[in-house]
């Protein structure tokens, strides 16, 4: 245990810890913006929605390391390449859930809103997004945890982060260095999971929470 704590006390540990957080936060934010824009654009078309979901499924099927390596000719080595690749990874879960969530809103509710004179933007912001919020946040939650874990691989393309310690430990034959890196990544992943789980519950409309509770009770 003392040897693991020694790694946590190294001067470069905080710097790599911050890099890992920066990569994860920025990639998730960029992925969220891109995915939501696409989901909103394809929302009114069944064909476009299906294409978006299929592209998202393809993105989820590609291994994280493959995406990092494939981006080398485009972005090169370093932080920017890692951020670009991680953003691509972040998009798929959010995009799929956002498209599905928006499309699952009852058509009768939307028709009733149109009958009341609401514009498409008002229906989207006041009805569709609140109803789809639990599904969208589930996608963001999955994406954020996936990005935190995948950011470990950034070390292979010079992106820095906590993956440096996992690789260093294997190179030096020192399992404690690798454990320190792995424990730090696990800690970030758990914090991310719990944090987004709380946000998901917070942004779920009260009516939906009550309906979900009744459904579980049955």
Please give the structure tokens belonging to residue 50.
Answer: 């299906």
What domains does the chain contain, in order, with CATH numbers?
2-217 (1.10.3720.10)
pLDDT tens per residue across span 45-72: 888 888 988 888 887 777 777 777 777 7
Q: Measured in Å, how far apart are the chain's first and last C-alpha atoms? A: 48
pLDDT tens per residue across span 98-117: 999 888 887 788 788 888 87
Which of 99, 12, 106 minimizes the C-alpha distance to 50?
A: 99
Q: In 104-128, which ranges are continuous DSSP H helix?
A: 107-115, 120-123
pLDDT at 114: 81
Q: In the chain, which ranges are continuous DSSP H helix?
A: 2-8, 11-42, 46-61, 64-70, 72-75, 79-103, 107-115, 120-123, 129-150, 163-172, 175-203, 206-217
> Residue 192 and residue 142: Cα distance in Å, rounded?
10
pTM of the entire structure? 0.85
């Amino acid at each position: 245990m003392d040897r693991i704590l020694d790694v946590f006390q190294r001067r470069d540990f905080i710097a790599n810890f911050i890099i890992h957080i920066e990569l994860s936060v920025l990639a998730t934010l960029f992925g969220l913006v891109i995915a939501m824009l696409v989901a909103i654009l394809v929302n009114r078309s069944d064909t476009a929605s299906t294409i978006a979901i299929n592209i998202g499924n393809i993105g989820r099927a590609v291994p994280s390391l493959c995406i990092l390596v494939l981006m080398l000719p485009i972005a090169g080595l370093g932080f920017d390449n890692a951020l670009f690749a991680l953003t691509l990874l972040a998009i798929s879960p959010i995009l799929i859930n956002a498209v599905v969530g928006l499309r699952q809103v009852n058509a009768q509710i939307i028709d009733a809103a149109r009958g009341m004179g609401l514009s498409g933007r008002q229906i989207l912001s006041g009805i569709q997004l609140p109803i789809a919020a639990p599904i969208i946040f589930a996608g963001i939650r999955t994406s954020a945890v996936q990005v935190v874990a995948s950011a470990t691989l950034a070390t292979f393309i010079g992106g820095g982060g906590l993956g440096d310690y996992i690789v260093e430990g294997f190179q030096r034959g020192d399992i404690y260095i690798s454990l320190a890196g792995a424990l730090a990544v696990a800690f970030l992943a758990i914090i991310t999971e719990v944090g987004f789980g709380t946000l998901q519950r917070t942004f779920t409309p009260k009516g939906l929470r009550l309906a979900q509770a009744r459904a579980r009770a049955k």
